A and B are shown apart, each in its own frame.
Chain A
Amino acid sequence: MANEQSNSANPNVDLKYRRKKNAEEMKQQVITFVMMIFFTVISFVAVAMEDFSHWFIKPVILLLAVIQVIFQLYYFMHMKHKGHGTIALFLFSGLAVGLITVLTFLTIVWL
């Protein structure tokens, strides 16, 4: 049943397990947060250095941006948790539809 509520909001259930779980999650969030800042710094530095060609910097920044979005969705917006299958399905279907549109515009509309 999809609308079944788990009782995990009850703070007295599995206190020890929940503490451990929370600590773990906190650790992951801090790590991803640091990495995201680090990625941002890399992007700024890469542009500021002026030593690399545009053809190198642009894809790298885009790649770092994609990784940041994934971090954001999975670690901060809890998409890695259970019960987010439907959300993931719709998110990726929407992404697919959007990307096909972009691809079309890049290949057969504007060229």
Chain B
Amino acid sequence: MSTYANKKGFGATIWDYLTTVDHKKIAILYLISGGLFFVIGGLEAMFIRIQLAIPNNDFVSAGFYNEILTMHGTTMIFLAAMPLVFAVMNAVVPLQIGARDVAFPFLNSLGFWLFFFGGVFLNLSWFLGGAPDAGWTSYASLSLHSAGHGVDFYVLGLQISGFGTLMAGINFLVTIINMRAPGMTYMRMPLFTWSTFVVSALILFAFPPLTVGLVLMMFDRMFGANFFDVAAGGNTIIWEHLFWIFGHPEVYILILPAFGIFSEIFATFSRKRLFGYSSMVFATVLIGFLGFMVWAHHMFTTGLGPIANAIFAVATMAIAVPTGIKIFNWIFTMWGGSVKFTVPMLYAVAFIPTFTMGGVTGIMLASAPADYQYHDSYFVVAHFHYVIVGGVVLGLLAGINFYWPKMFGTILNEKLGQITFWTFLIGFHLTFFIQHFLGLMGMPRRVFTFMDNQGLNTGNMISTVGAFLMAFGVLVMVINIIITSVKNEKVGNDPWGDGRTLEWAIPSPPPFYNFKQLPLVRGLDAYWVEKMEGKKEMTPAEPLGDIHMPNSSFLPVTIAFGLFVAAFGALYHMDDKSWTLPIIILGLLITFGSMLIRSIKDDHGYHIHKEDLMDDTDKGGKA
């Protein structure tokens, strides 16, 4: 214990983070790398908007525009939104269910490093002959004919980071099923934990189709197979189905955690129990379930036939029902509550109309006949940015503001937070609202330029101005984070003053073992229940005892790094270079060697002894 109190040097801190298996530190790793990729994806978005600011612009070339556009989508979905979601999940879920860590701490670390090396691999394509340029959906008919190695970077990079995501999903499933504190029944779980649970199930079922699709694409591109090549008897539509069987659940994988974060925020700052808790749980599960039945609405114009289109259109519209349940429950949570407009609450309140607008255009797009008009126009771009930025990104910004004290022990500045909020929100609506009309006026998606005198000039200029406002908001947020970290003013257990769930009952940031004694959960919003009975802390469910902790390990980094090395060999293998095979073998040796070490080396972890856990406050003889 005493070793942990020592001040550590910079190198030791780096080593600590490289080897950590602690969910709280992995959350910070996800936050930093997700934030970094978010900035990269944001820069790509700025380039897109600068290019489209005026007609016939030549800021970037057509080919380079395709690369920027592809990498913007791919980076934002896979390398920014996903890890930021995982950052919040890792930081919060074990605390919310009263657990000391996730079920498989080693696997948690491995999941992060696989994601990280996959993401780095994908982004290295910029420096190694060009990024992927077939769109984030990478439709086979296009990507098979993409010259250079861009699409190969896409395939291998996503494959590696996909392994990591799948592991993280399974880890959270096992954690939530097995490691809830005494008294924490399923129907007492906070809604963020519920959404994590449903999302993990979606990951479990949605990522294998992506893996299959990527493997087929890899064989087609690198080893001369013909799964998608129509000329050789393949079927290009198979990729589209596999991609969207994954891709549609994927967007729910992103939005459901945001719903969970907002549910926590609404209840906390309305200082009221979440309205209709059980219907919220039901709606979350139903959205997850329906999420697997609607993928073909992305493919209405591929010629599935009227019957298939009708079935998928109706199934898609059905999703409006559980989502509507949620929207009304959030409104009713605020109704009659004593609402406090903190920064997270501002995001939450702004989210409702913004997301509803995205939902309404979703219903418009779900009508298959009308979709023939909207398809591949800026209307679609406006729609998915309204749900993804207006839902997921607002949710993540709210969650980062809300949980920042729990993760770092400091609280972000409210004034700067409000500036970020207003500039980001106004910038967002400026950027994307007008794009609905650009789309309806006939501006197609994924074009690198448009002509003058088509009535598109003003709209595109407004859109670009909005994008700069959003960038300004993010910049203020970064400044806010730096100022807060430098000041380093520590806050107490419950800095918002109205914490309802278990994470607010322990110090910020929590000690590395989270709970000295596992808490006894006596109802929904466990900490609130205790507060209402005049108590200051949770009732322990067990006597103070030794705590079993996992050892840190460097192996997750080497396992992931081995795959990263092997991916380079696989990528250049088709160029008939002699060094590729040794590189593949070397990389796989690193990976499997590390796995072998992990398997044969006994690592039972260590115990924190009871005596080390007792401090002055415990000596009075509490439980």
Q: Quick check: A1 and B183 within 8 Å, CB to CB? A: yes
Q: Quick check: B304 and A108 within 8 Å, CB to CB? A: yes
**25-48 of chain A: CB within 8 A of chain B:** none
Across-interface contacts of A97 in B (CB, < 8 A): 205, 292
Query: Within the assembled complex, what's the spacing in Å between the Cα atoms of A2 and B179?
Result: 7
Q: Does B241 contact A (CB under 8 A)?
A: yes
The prevalent SS among residues of B at the interface is helix
A residues whose Cβ falls under 8 Å from a Cβ of B: 1-3, 86, 90, 93-94, 96-97, 100-101, 104-105, 107-110
**Distance in Å: Cβ of B531 to nearest Cβ of chain A:** 23
Across-interface contacts of A2 in B (CB, < 8 A): 177-178, 180
Q: Does B547 contact A (CB under 8 A)?
A: no
Across-interface contacts of B292 in A (CB, < 8 A): 96-97, 100
Query: Within the assembled complex, what's the spacing in Å between the Cα atoms of A84 and B204?
Result: 18
Q: Quick check: A100 and B241 within 8 Å, CB to CB? A: no
Q: Quick check: B178 and A108 within 8 Å, CB to CB? A: no
Q: Does B331 contact A (CB under 8 A)?
A: no
Across-interface contacts of A105 in B (CB, < 8 A): 238, 241
Q: Kindly count the residue-residue contacts between A and B in the assembled complex, taking CB atoms under 8 Å apart.
A: 41
Instruction: Out of A1, A101, A108, name the residue touching B305 (CB < 8 Å).
Output: A108
Q: What are 27 A-B interface contacts by the 8 Å CB criterion?
A: A1-B180, A1-B182, A1-B184, A2-B177, A2-B178, A2-B180, A3-B180, A86-B177, A90-B201, A93-B289, A94-B204, A94-B205, A96-B292, A97-B205, A100-B292, A101-B241, A101-B245, A104-B296, A105-B238, A107-B308, A108-B305, A108-B308, A109-B235, A109-B237, A109-B238, A109-B241, A110-B235
Q: Given contacts A100-B293, A104-B241, A109-B241, are A3 and B178 in contact (CB under 8 A)?
A: yes
Query: Within the assembled complex, what's the spacing in Å between the Cα atoms of A86 and B176?
Result: 12
Query: Within the assembled complex, what's the spacing in Å between the Cα atoms of A110 and B237?
Result: 9
Across-interface contacts of A90 in B (CB, < 8 A): 173, 201, 204
Query: Within the assembled complex, what's the spacing in Å between the Cα atoms of A26 and B611?
Result: 49
Query: Within the assembled complex, what's the spacing in Å between the Cα atoms of A100 and B184?
Result: 34
Q: Which residue of A lies closest to B308 (CB)?
A: A108
5 closest cross-chain pairs (CB), A and B: A97-B205, A108-B308, A3-B178, A108-B304, A1-B182
Q: Which residue of A lies closest to B303 (CB)?
A: A108
Q: Given contacts A90-B201, A100-B292, A100-B293, are A3 and B179 in contact (CB under 8 A)?
A: yes
Q: Does B130 contact A (CB under 8 A)?
A: no
Q: Which residue of A lies closest to B238 (CB)?
A: A109
Other 4 A-B pairs with CB < 8 A, given A3-B180, A90-B204: A101-B241, A104-B241, A108-B308, A109-B235
Q: Does B209 contact A (CB under 8 A)?
A: yes
Q: Which residue of B lies closest to A110 (CB)?
A: B235
**Distance in Å: Cβ of B586 to nearest Cβ of chain A:** 36
Across-interface contacts of B182 in A (CB, < 8 A): 1
Query: Within the assembled complex, what's the spacing in Å between the Cα atoms of A94 and B205?
Result: 6
Query: Within the assembled complex, what's the spacing in Å between the Cα atoms of A53 and B241?
Result: 35
Q: Quick check: A93 and B304 within 8 Å, CB to CB? A: no
**Distance in Å: Cβ of B209 to nearest Cβ of chain A:** 7
Query: Within the assembled complex, what's the spacing in Å between the Cα atoms of A101 and B182?
Result: 39
**Distance in Å: Cβ of B314 to nearest Cβ of chain A:** 15
- Interface size for chain B: under 10, 10 to 19, 20 to 34, or 35 or more residues? 20 to 34
**Distance in Å: Cβ of A88 to nearest Cβ of chain B:** 13
Across-interface contacts of B205 in A (CB, < 8 A): 93-94, 97
**Distance in Å: Cβ of A69 to nearest Cβ of chain B:** 19
User: A-facing mask of B195-237, CB < 8 A → 1, else 0?
Assistant: 0000001001100010000000000000000000000000101
Instruction: Out of A93, A107, A109, name the residue touching B201 (CB < 8 Å).
Output: A93
Across-interface contacts of A110 in B (CB, < 8 A): 235
**Distance in Å: Cβ of B435 to nearest Cβ of chain A:** 31
User: A-facing mask of B288-299, CB < 8 A → 1, else 0?
Assistant: 010011001000
Query: Within the assembled complex, what's the spacing in Å between the Cα atoms of A109 and B292?
Result: 17
Q: Quick check: A101 and B177 within 8 Å, CB to CB? A: no
Query: Within the assembled complex, what's the spacing in Å between the Cα atoms of A110 and B241?
Result: 12
Query: Within the assembled complex, what's the spacing in Å between the Cα atoms of A94 and B179?
Result: 23
Which of B180, B205, B238, B305 has the most CB atoms of chain A within a 10 A radius of its CB?
A: B205
Q: Given contacts A1-B183, A90-B204, are A101 and B209 in contact (CB under 8 A)?
A: yes
Across-interface contacts of A94 in B (CB, < 8 A): 204-205
**Distance in Å: Cβ of A57 to nearest Cβ of chain B:** 29
Query: Within the assembled complex, what's the spacing in Å between the Cα atoms of A105 and B209?
Result: 13
Query: Within the assembled complex, what's the spacing in Å between the Cα atoms of A109 and B305?
Result: 11
**283-339 of chain B: CB within 8 A of chain A:** 289, 292-293, 296, 304-305, 308
**232-281 of chain B: CB within 8 A of chain A:** 235, 237-238, 241, 245
**Distance in Å: Cβ of A101 to nearest Cβ of chain B:** 6
**Distance in Å: Cβ of B36 to nearest Cβ of chain A:** 33
Across-interface contacts of A109 in B (CB, < 8 A): 235, 237-238, 241
Across-interface contacts of B184 in A (CB, < 8 A): 1
Query: Within the assembled complex, what's the spacing in Å between the Cα atoms of A108 and B183?
Result: 48
**Distance in Å: Cβ of A94 to nearest Cβ of chain B:** 6
**Distance in Å: Cβ of B193 to nearest Cβ of chain A:** 13
Which of A90, A104, A108, A109 has the most CB atoms of chain B within a 10 A radius of its CB?
A: A108
Query: Within the assembled complex, what's the spacing in Å between the Cα atoms of A36 and B499?
Result: 57
User: A-facing mask of B162-186, CB < 8 A → 1, else 0?
Assistant: 0000000000010001111011100
Across-interface contacts of B308 in A (CB, < 8 A): 107-108
Query: Within the assembled complex, what's the spacing in Å between the Cα atoms of A1 and B542?
Result: 14
**Distance in Å: Cβ of A6 to nearest Cβ of chain B:** 15
**Distance in Å: Cβ of B199 to nearest Cβ of chain A:** 14
**Distance in Å: Cβ of B541 to nearest Cβ of chain A:** 9
Across-interface contacts of B178 in A (CB, < 8 A): 2-3
Query: Within the assembled complex, what's the spacing in Å between the Cα atoms of A1 and B519?
Result: 13
Across-interface contacts of A104 in B (CB, < 8 A): 241, 296
Q: Which residue of A lies closest to B521 (CB)?
A: A1
Query: Within the assembled complex, what's the spacing in Å between the Cα atoms of A100 and B249?
Result: 14
Q: Which residue of A lies closest to B205 (CB)?
A: A97
Across-interface contacts of B238 in A (CB, < 8 A): 105, 109
Query: Within the assembled complex, what's the spacing in Å between the Cα atoms of A86 and B241?
Result: 29
**Distance in Å: Cβ of B184 to nearest Cβ of chain A:** 8
Query: Within the assembled complex, what's the spacing in Å between the Cα atoms of A110 and B235?
Result: 8
Query: Within the assembled complex, what's the spacing in Å between the Cα atoms of A58 and B184?
Result: 49
Query: Within the assembled complex, what's the spacing in Å between the Cα atoms of A107 and B305?
Result: 11
Q: Which residue of A lies closest to B302 (CB)?
A: A108
**Distance in Å: Cβ of B225 to nearest Cβ of chain A:** 18
Query: Within the assembled complex, what's the spacing in Å between the Cα atoms of A41 and B173?
Result: 41
